[in-house]
Structure formats: C-alpha cells, structure tokens
A and B are shown apart, each in its own frame.
Chain A
Amino acid sequence: MTDKVEFTLAELMIVAASEAWRGDGELLASGLGVIPRLGASLAKLTHSEGLLMTDSEAFLVEEPIPLGPRGDYQPRYSGYMPFERVFDCVWGGRRHAMIGPTQIDRWGQTNLSCVGDYAKPKSAMLGVRGLPGNSINHINSLFVPAHSRRVFVEGEVDMVSGVGFKPERWDDGVRRDLMDIRIVVTDLCVMDFDGPGRSVRVRSLHPGVSFAEVQEKTGFPLVAAPDMGETTSPSADQLALIRRLDPHDLRATAIKGNPPGIRTAA
C-alpha cells in the first residue's frame, strides 16, 4: 500500500531538501522559503533531531513551527537567536542554510544582487544580503523552484554574491576550507558538486525526468553520479508530518502549477 501514496512535486522536493541536513548533528538549520523550511523541519522531526531551528524571527524552538497563521498553536521557545546572534553563528560555522539564489553557476557561485550590468541592471534584486559571509563560513545547500538556463547560467553569475569553487576567485592565503555546498534541489533533480574538480553532478532525477532534459535546461555540462537513480518518494509518514508542518498547504503554491510528484511524459 505505502508505495501507492500520491504526492506532489513540492512534497517530493521537501523530502529531498530534508536530506541536505542528514548527519549535520548540532547546528542551526535555516531553510529559507516554504520548501527549504519544510525540508529543515522534516529533517529535525525524522533523521536529525540535533538540529537547531528558529521561529524564523528571533527565538529558538525545539519543535519546528508550522507555516502560516498559527491559530491556537503556541510556539514554545528554547532559546534566543536574534539577527546579531545569527551572525555569530555564521562566523563560527555552526549553520547549514538552504537558500534560493537567482543565478547559480557551474562553480556553485550564487547571485542575489542583480542581473545584467551592475551600474544599470536589467533586474535589481535584493542585494547580496548575507550570502558572502554565509557562503564562505558554513555549509550551504541551494534550492531552485524552476530549473532553467536563466538560473543555471552558462558563464559566471552576473554578480558573485556567494562564493563557489572557482580557483581563480581565491587568492593565496584566503581560507577556503570552511565552506561547502551540499546539495542543489530543483524541480527536476537533485545535484551536488562532487563531480571531477567539484563540478556539478546529477545525483537523482525526479520521477519522469530524464538526464537529457536536465542537461538541456542547464547552461553548463553536467555529469551523472555513478549511482544516479530516481529521487526517493515521500513515505506516508513523511507526508503526514509535512501536512502537520504546513496546515495551510502553502507548499501548493511553491512550485508553478503544483504538479504531481510523478510526472508522466508530456
């Protein structure tokens, strides 16, 4: 029966995202956005109870807080984590964040600042925010709701906001051993940077997606992991937890069209 559960693509991606934090032990797990946050919450409730999480404002909680309006739900705080303390946590390296940048390049460099010419950008976005500091100080994973060549650009990202594995960017004497990029969860697949020379590798394909399609929608060459398989489907238990963590079904709006998890060929 359990292999017959129905699930959406968003739910598949939440489960895939939760795998980013497996084995992290005690560190601050920050999932930014609906799917990454649900992924971190699911990780804490299943395989990685040591993770620290916040109420997405200023307090630590041991029970991940459901998304959206809380009704009668009363958060129970276990500690305090205002922005200033998040910086301390970042600089000490005890954090693993999953963020959704606007552009990602083959070296894992990320852009949240602007697209196009810096002086007169085609699109001015948020600004670098905490990306430079986060990316050089602790583990990060990446989230991409719509896998395309606009996100996975051919050359370097337009404004390198977060560091990556491009050797030319690292001057002598700069420590690059404190950073790592764990996984990239997209609407098509899960990737990592564990290919030759830290190149991008497809680790698993979501049901109904081919390697060729992923390659076609990526601006740089990909390799397949030797054991590349299908992204693991959510279990009934995981889906129940996801429903509890997201009672207003915000995940239904996270991926355009809220497609089913098992896509049939178009």
Chain B
Amino acid sequence: MDKRMSTAEVVAGLRDGMTIGFGGWGPRRKPMAIVREILRSPLKDLTVAAYGGPEVGMLCAAGKVKKLVFGFATLDAMPLEPWYRKVREAGGLTDLMELDEGMFQWGLRAAGMRLPFLPTRCGLATDVVKLNPELRTIGSPYDDGEVLIAMPALKLDVALLHVNVADRLGNTLVTGPDAYFDHHFARAAEQCFVSAERVEERLELDAATARYNTFERYLVTGVVHAPFGAHPTSCPSDYGWDMSHFKRYAASATDEGGWQAYVDEFVAPGEAAYQEKNGGAERLAKLPLPVF
C-alpha cells in the first residue's frame, strides 16, 4: 500500500463545484502547497469550508469560491484577512454560510458520524439563524422541550490537511500543541488528502509520540510530501508563520493589479521557486513560532 502522490495529482482529482474543507485554523497549519496548486489549476465554483485563513482569501482573490462556509477569516496578527475582506466589500461573495465556530465543528462531527444533524444551542437568537434560512430548529423530545438548532451535517467531498509527519500508508502525526479540528475534517470527507513536512516509509513510534496521531489512516486517501507546505502559515512545532510574506500578500489586496503580481511572483513558478522567493529552506525552517 502506497498512498504517496503529488500535489498535481491531488488537484487533478478535484472537480468544479466540489465542497472542499481545509484543515488548520486561521494562519495556522493550512495546506498551502495544495492551495497554490489549486490556484494554478482551472478549478472553479468551489464551496470552501474552513476555519479561515489565507487559503480563503487567496481562493476568493482567484475567483474560485462560489460559496463560503465559515466562522471567520483571519491572519491573527493581522486580524482581518485582506482578500476575504476585499472581495466581500466588493459584493463579490454573497453565497455565505456564516456559522459559530462550534456549529461548524458540530456540522463536521455530524457528517463524520453519519448523522443528519447534531443539536446545539449555538447560533440561536442571533443573525446566524436569520441569514441561514436552511438551518432548522428542533424541539427536545423529552420533558424539557428545549428548542435547539439542528446543525446539519457538513459533508465534504474532499478534505485537504497539512501535518508534520506522515507515512506512505497514510498514518499522520500533528506535533504542534493544538490539533485543531483536522480529525473532524478527515471524518466528514469522502476523500482526504494530507500534505506533510516529512513522509516516511512506515511510522514506528514510541507510545508518547504515537499520541500525536489524531485520525486513522483509513480516512486518508493520499499523502503528499510538501516541505514548508504550510507556508506562509505556521506549522508548529516545525516553524512559525511568515509575517513578512503576510505583509506582501496583504499589499496585493491594495496595489493595482496586486493579485496578478502576487500570482506571477509566488504561485505560477511552482513550489521550488516559491521557497527560493521566500528565502529558501534555510530561512523557512527558522521562522520563529509565534508567542501568544
């Protein structure tokens, strides 16, 4: 069994109109090498589901997002995601499912458990219910009779994740302090592709390290070796996010022709050139982990 493939092979399997979930959180551990491959592809009309960071902004900038399912889009140190903001304010993204972070998780969990919905109190009495008329409420069948939102399963065609370590069988390790919600994305998806900083033949771990595994390999369709594949987002415990690149990216949202210039410089030439443009492996490996 060998699940190794290239980013090009991953993206070749994606189709227009698919619902794609992106793991990570904001500017943290996003599968950016695969995102850049999507940006180089003709793929379009995507439904993007994410705890949003620059992947949301970049896919919006490239006009590939038909619908966004999200709770937020942010670069943390820059609170407002520049391209998400620009496209929203231009009226270029109106098919939105804006959800509480917990509702989002509940939707993924329902999909992973093959349930039609999971009940939650989150979202009631806010505009989340008003702006998403497809959300229905349900009355508790027990004596309490409480009215709750039936958060529908958020089924993904594909989940794209980036992890620290994988093997060719699809075993994965997330060694940073927070696994975020990647395991729920993996469970909610028909297919899950994982890029990794390091890909080994077969993981043979001690018990303490094995606990960094957060989802089973049977959920993993393909494994991509993508060193610095989360850049410019962070990949704890390997490297931090790249503020100078974020600034360059943010400037692309204000400069005339900025997005095309960004694509020409960083996306079109491919991943090897991308690393060189950002100071090469030596610099990328030393990007400091953020202090919160």
Q: What residues make up the interface of A, taking CB atoms closer than 8 Å to B?
A: 55-59, 68-70, 82-84, 87, 90-91, 109, 113-114, 118-133, 135-137, 159-163, 169-176, 178
When the two chains form the complex, which single residue of A58, A126, A162 contacts B178, counting CB atoms closer than 8 Å? A58
CA distance A76 to B94 in the complex (A): 46
| 27 A-B pairs whose Cβ atoms sit less than 8 Å apart in the complex | A82-B179, A83-B180, A83-B181, A84-B180, A120-B90, A126-B73, A126-B79, A127-B98, A128-B99, A129-B101, A132-B124, A132-B126, A133-B102, A133-B103, A133-B122, A133-B123, A136-B124, A137-B122, A159-B127, A159-B131, A161-B128, A163-B126, A171-B137, A172-B147, A173-B146, A174-B124, A174-B125
When the two chains form the complex, which single residue of A90, A91, A109, A130 contacts B71, counting CB atoms closer than 8 Å? A130
- The 5 lowest CB-CB distance pairs between A and B, nearest first, are A127-B72, A173-B147, A133-B122, A120-B91, A124-B88
When the two chains form the complex, which single residue of B52, B98, B147 contacts A113, counting CB atoms closer than 8 Å? B98
Contact B178 A83 (CB under 8 A): yes
| Binary flags per residue of B249-281, CB closer than 8 Å to A gives 1, else 0 | 000000000000000000000000000000000
Contact A136 B292 (CB under 8 A): no
Expressed in whole angstroms, the minimum distance between the Cβ of A107 and any Cβ of chain B is 10
With a cutoff of 8 Å between Cβ atoms, the chain A residues found around residue B90 in the complex are 120
Expressed in whole angstroms, the minimum distance between the Cβ of B95 and any Cβ of chain A is 10
Contact B125 A169 (CB under 8 A): yes
Given A87-B101, A132-B100, A161 contacting B126 (CB threshold 8 A): yes
CA distance A70 to B74 in the complex (A): 24
CA distance A169 to B129 in the complex (A): 11
Main SS of the interface on chain A? loop
With a cutoff of 8 Å between Cβ atoms, the chain A residues found around residue B88 in the complex are 114, 120-121, 124
- Kindly report which residue of chain A lies nearest to residue B236, judged by CB atoms: A57
Asked if B121 CB lies within 8 Å of chain A CBs, one says yes
Given A119-B94, A136-B125, A91 contacting B102 (CB threshold 8 A): yes
Expressed in whole angstroms, the minimum distance between the Cβ of A189 and any Cβ of chain B is 25
Contact B25 A83 (CB under 8 A): yes
CA distance A172 to B72 in the complex (A): 29
- Kindly report which residue of chain A lies nearest to residue B95, judged by CB atoms: A119
When the two chains form the complex, which single residue of B74, B121, B131 contacts A118, counting CB atoms closer than 8 Å? B131
CA distance A91 to B123 in the complex (A): 12
Between A84, A87, A113, A133, the greatest number of chain B beta carbons within 10 A of the residue's beta carbon is seen for A133
Contact B292 A55 (CB under 8 A): yes
CA distance A91 to B292 in the complex (A): 24
Given A69-B291, A113-B98, A132-B126, A126 contacting B74 (CB threshold 8 A): yes
When the two chains form the complex, which single residue of B52, B91, B124, B126 contacts A127, counting CB atoms closer than 8 Å? B52
With a cutoff of 8 Å between Cβ atoms, the chain B residues found around residue A131 in the complex are 100, 126
Asked if B133 CB lies within 8 Å of chain A CBs, one says no
When the two chains form the complex, which single residue of A90, A122, A129 contacts B89, counting CB atoms closer than 8 Å? A122
- Kindly report which residue of chain B lies nearest to residue A115, judged by CB atoms: B89
- Kindly report which residue of chain B lies nearest to residue A119, judged by CB atoms: B94
CA distance A109 to B125 in the complex (A): 10
Contact B84 A124 (CB under 8 A): yes
Q: Which of B123-167 contact A (CB under 8 A)?
A: 123-128, 130-131, 137, 139, 145-147
Contact A121 B139 (CB under 8 A): no
With a cutoff of 8 Å between Cβ atoms, the chain A residues found around residue B102 in the complex are 87, 90-91, 130, 133
Q: Which of B171-212 contact A (CB under 8 A)?
A: 177-181
Asked if B80 CB lies within 8 Å of chain A CBs, one says yes
- Kindly report which residue of chain A lies nearest to residue B96, judged by CB atoms: A118
Asked if B105 CB lies within 8 Å of chain A CBs, one says yes
With a cutoff of 8 Å between Cβ atoms, the chain A residues found around residue B177 in the complex are 57-59, 82
Contact A128 B94 (CB under 8 A): no
Expressed in whole angstroms, the minimum distance between the Cβ of A210 and any Cβ of chain B is 33
CA distance A163 to B99 in the complex (A): 14
When the two chains form the complex, which single residue of A83, A120, A128 contacts B128, counting CB atoms closer than 8 Å? A128
